[in-house]
């Protein structure tokens, strides 16, 4: 177990629907205060795992715990859940809906209304307070749903495809809000297809495929598990011979070197400098999560996002 306590523990979880097994012996943990990415193509089992964690589905086998106990409404954990499918009262006005949900979360109605007004102003919807939900665009509804999700200052924030329907400007706004929630002590679980969001926000990730963990660890650990990192070296003079690396390519003064096992980047650079290679640029590169996603799930699955 890690030194940091686990906010979420999934232990040997299996989920059957009739004769179909959707989740197969899945185990992972989400540590307190981190942002965790739960990744996978449609049908990989992400939403099923989240619903079982929230107590919506009883697991066929295994345990799913939040702060050491199975999820239930009276467990005392402040929880914020943003579902992929929006759950707002579409015939009601925006401010009325947010105030209502705030009251359900235990806020004083006046405090909920004031918080909602300030939030709507921040996300560019101040002029929509009296507009019916069904008159908003998909992205605007997602902003309202996010506000409902975070208005009780959740300890655990679960976001299922949070930027669905967002343009790049609003996607950045949402990521800033997630950053703020984590800075305030929230633990964040993100379900997303957007790999740039994962690289920007997530401390650790799990790639779920066919109901089983395909890769699990920090972003760097997962990247390295799909191929060793390489060093891109721009040099003015010939490279020295060394057992510290293997030359993948060296053309017109630009070389790509594969470091040997357990060779640190600092050691590789020091050997190049000592060998008088005239290094003017040195950069360690790893496989992008986009490339890894396509390798694991296929190009068609990547386009689902």
Closest CA to 123 of 105, 101, 139, 107: 139
Q: Is residue 49 part of a domain?
A: yes
Alpha helix ranges (H) inside 91-167: 94-104, 109-122, 138-150
Same domain (yes/no): 218, 252: no
Same domain (yes/no): 171, 235: no
CB-CB contact of 174 with 163 (8 Å): yes
Question: Which residues of the chain carry a pLDDT beneath 50?
Answer: 1-2, 302-305
**pLDDT for res 1:** 43
For 267, the enclosing helix (H) or strand (E) is helix 265-274
Which burial class, exposed, middle or buried, applies to 267 when counting CB atoms under 10 A from its CB (0-12, 13-18, 19+)?
Answer: middle
Q: Is residue 302 part of a domain?
A: no
For 300, the enclosing helix (H) or strand (E) is helix 299-302
**pLDDT for res 305:** 45
**pLDDT for res 77:** 64
Alpha helix ranges (H) inside 43-183: 46-53, 94-104, 109-122, 138-150, 168-183
State how many domains the chain has.
2
Same domain (yes/no): 206, 277: no
Task: Report how far residue 184's alpha carbon sits from residue 155's, in angstroms, rounded to the nearest whole number.
Answer: 9
Q: Is residue 294 part of a domain?
A: no
CB-CB contact of 44 with 211 (8 Å): yes
* Domain termination site, one of 177, 193, 223: 223
Cβ neighbours, 10 Å, residue 305:
14
Same domain (yes/no): 99, 78: yes
Q: Is residue 293 part of a domain?
A: no
Residue with tokens 């329907």: 165
Q: Is residue 301 part of a domain?
A: no
Task: Report how far residue 146's alpha carbon sits from residue 248's, in angstroms, rounded to the nearest whole number.
Answer: 47
User: In which domain, by residue range, is 282 found?
Assistant: 228-286
Task: Report how far residue 18's alpha carbon sits from residue 30's, in angstroms, rounded to the nearest whole number.
Answer: 29
**pLDDT for res 224:** 87
Residue with tokens 């939900």: 133
**pLDDT for res 188:** 95
Q: Is residue 20 part of a domain?
A: yes
**pLDDT for res 299:** 59
Q: Is residue 23 part of a domain?
A: yes
**pLDDT for res 298:** 83
Q: What angle do CA 42, 44, 46 make, to 5 degrees?
A: 90
**pLDDT for res 275:** 95
Q: Is residue 255 part of a domain?
A: yes
**pLDDT for res 139:** 86
Same domain (yes/no): 73, 160: yes
Residue 31, token pair as written in the block: 């540590």
Same domain (yes/no): 20, 110: yes
């Amino acid at each position: 177990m890690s030194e940091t306590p686990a906010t979420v523990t999934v232990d040997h979880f299996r989920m059957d629907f009739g004769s179909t097994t959707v989740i197969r012996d899945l185990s992972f943990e989400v540590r307190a205060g981190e942002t965790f990415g739960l990744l996978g193509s449609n049908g990989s089992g992400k939403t099923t795992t989240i619903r079982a964690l929230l107590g919506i589905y009883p697991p066929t086998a295994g345990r799913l715990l939040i702060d050491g106990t199975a999820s239930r409404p009276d467990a005392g954990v402040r929880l914020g859940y943003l579902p992929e499918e929006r759950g707002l009262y579409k015939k009601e006005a925006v401010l009325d809906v947010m105030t209502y949900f705030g009251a359900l979360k235990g806020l004083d109605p006046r405090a909920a209304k004031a918080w909602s007004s300030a939030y709507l102003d921040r996300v560019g919807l101040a002029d929509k307070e009296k507009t019916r939900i069904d008159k908003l665009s998909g992205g605007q509804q997602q902003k309202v749903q996010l506000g409902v999700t975070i208005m009780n200052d959740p300890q655990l924030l679960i976001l299922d495809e949070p930027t669905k329907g967002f343009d790049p400007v609003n996607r950045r706004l949402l990521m800033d809000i997630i950053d703020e929630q984590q800075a305030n002590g929230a633990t964040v679980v993100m379900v997303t297809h957007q790999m740039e969001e994962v690289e920007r926000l997530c401390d650790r990730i799990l790639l779920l495929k066919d109901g089983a963990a395909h890769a699990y660890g920090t972003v760097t650990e997962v990247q390295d598990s799909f191929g060793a990192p390489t060093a891109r070296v721009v040099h003015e003079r010939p490279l020295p011979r060394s057992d510290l690396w293997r030359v993948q390519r060296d053309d017109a003064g630009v070389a790509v070197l594969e470091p040997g096992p357990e060779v640190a980047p600092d050691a590789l650079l020091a050997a190049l400098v000592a060998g008088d290679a005239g290094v003017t640029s040195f950069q360690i590169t790893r496989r992008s999560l986009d490339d890894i996603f396509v390798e694991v799930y296929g190009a068609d699955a990547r386009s689902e996002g």
